Chains A and B, each alone.
Chain A
Amino acid sequence: MIRVQNLVKTFGSFTAVNDVSFQVEAGEIFAFLGPNGAGKTTTIKMLTTLLHPTSGSIQLDGLDPRTHQNQVRQRFGIVFQDPSLDGDLTAWENMEIHGVLYHVPHKTRRQRSEELLKLFELWDRRDDQVKKFSGGMKRRLEIARGFLHTPKILFLDEPTLGLDPQSRNQLWSHVKRVNEAEKVTVMLTTHYMDEADRVAHRVGIIDHGKLVTQGTPAEIKEQTETSSLEDAFLKLTGSTIRDESAGSADQMRQFAKMWQQQRR
């Protein structure tokens, strides 16, 4: 379903993704793991038509995101790592926009929005502006929105960041459900190794832009002679802490915060 070959992305002299190749079969749940700044999000951005690869090839359902942008976009859904909601609109309106943009028929849209908002316990707050939500609620809304349409491939970029255990649990059981019932291929990233161990059929570990290893969680544990995926991960990627320089988006967010405070 996803086929990546010798993928490279450089920003100036910095190589974010360096010669990465992997495959995700249809119906599989693939966890893409790596420390901060390893190149996970950059890879996902290239897969989802948001960035152009420097070199290498990508195929999603047999299509190249560079040449068949629209067809590729019809095939995937994504929950982004950082916020992507419109804070001035209500939770319901955010769902509506998503549904319309993804061509979900009117009736299905209302029905599913209601189900999902109830599932993620946002139904009572559906008519409140999203900017009044807490971080966890925004995250839940973002995930609920991601499930509104049924794509062939679902990308989840650190979906559990900032979620409480209840919501995490809800999320993973829902992911498993759509994967089994609707055969959705899932590619996810997370920093919680136990989650990856529990949910993923296969795991790829990336560090410094290079794919270090891939295989089933059991294979990786066996290969590294460790008992948990977390130990295997640390053995493969070392225990030094990575620095991630703030991108322009982060800087802008900071600027906006400053500006909003001034306005009050």
Chain B
Amino acid sequence: MNAIYILWLRELKRYTRSRAQIIASLGQPMLYLLVLGFGLNPVFKRAGYGSYFQFIAPGVIGMSVLFSSIFSGLGLLWDRQFGFLKETLVAPVPRIQIMIGRTLGGCTVAVIQGLLVLTICLISGFRPASWIAIPVAVGFMVLIAMLFAALGVIFGSSLQDMQGFQLIMNFLVLPIYFLSGAMFPLTNQGKILGFITALDPLSYGIDGMRSVLLSAATFRPAFGIGIDLSVLIGVGTILLILGAWRFSKIEA
């Protein structure tokens, strides 16, 4: 148990110590939120979908949670490179505990990152349907963070070096983001796009957050909260198990 705690604490310390990185990581969500949010607002409104700024805010929160959690899992690559990974791999602690500690740490960091973006959204004029919705939305952030931290661990344990990193960024992380409906409504899509977006776990996370944060009058859920929750929990559990298995197989 102590091992899980100390590794969780390590992730948190590393995060709070890299202030420059925290600020840098807020840049991209702010661009999406402020430039696209306000820029596309008039068109979106004319199409009868309401405010685009309101619509994109949960999407941008989901994006920052996605990036932050998946990179925490890929942080394994950095630890491998700087050697710290070996230190944890030979420790007399079951590997599963090491994996849980790291993943929980990465998750916590991702949720903090999500909360920071949520704060920016609120400051720039985002208004949730009700304030009680916020804790529920945080719950969705936790589920998204768990799922993608586990996915990050799977890839982080399988890759040997940084060459694979760009590959993951371009063929995994960005598609997950763009296909999640973070930036466009998932309802009334063509068959092919509709099918692909339904395969993307993040779609359910963002759909869930929108369902609770936006008022029923302006947003029609693509899946519904029940389906959102079961997909996130189901896929998350499977990925966590896979991640733990991959992690237990690491050789150094």
Contacts and interface: CB of A to CB of B under 8 A. Distances in A.
Given A96-B6, A100-B3, A85 B84 contact: yes
B161 A80 contact: no
B14 interface: yes
A255 B10 contact: no
B13 A93 contact: yes
Nearest to A97: B6
A49 interface: yes
Interface string A92-129: 01001110111100000000000000000000000001
A73 B6 contact: no
A52 B251 contact: yes
Contacts of A86: 10, 14, 79, 82, 84, 87
A129 B208 CA distance: 41
A248 B160 contact: yes
B90 interface: yes
A98 B161 CA distance: 25
Given A52-B251, A100-B2, A89 B91 contact: no
Interface in B150-169: 160-162
Contacts of A73: 90-93
Contacts of B94: 70
A84 interface: yes
Contact of A256 (B6, B81, B91, B252): B81
Contacts of A253: 81-82
11 contacts: A48-B90, A80-B83, A80-B86, A82-B83, A84-B85, A87-B82, A100-B2, A249-B161, A253-B82, A256-B81, A256-B162
Interface of B: 2-3, 5-7, 10, 13-14, 17-18, 77-94, 160-162, 251-252
Which 6 A-B pairs give the minimum distances between C-beta atoms? A84-B83, A101-B91, A74-B92, A73-B92, A252-B81, A100-B6
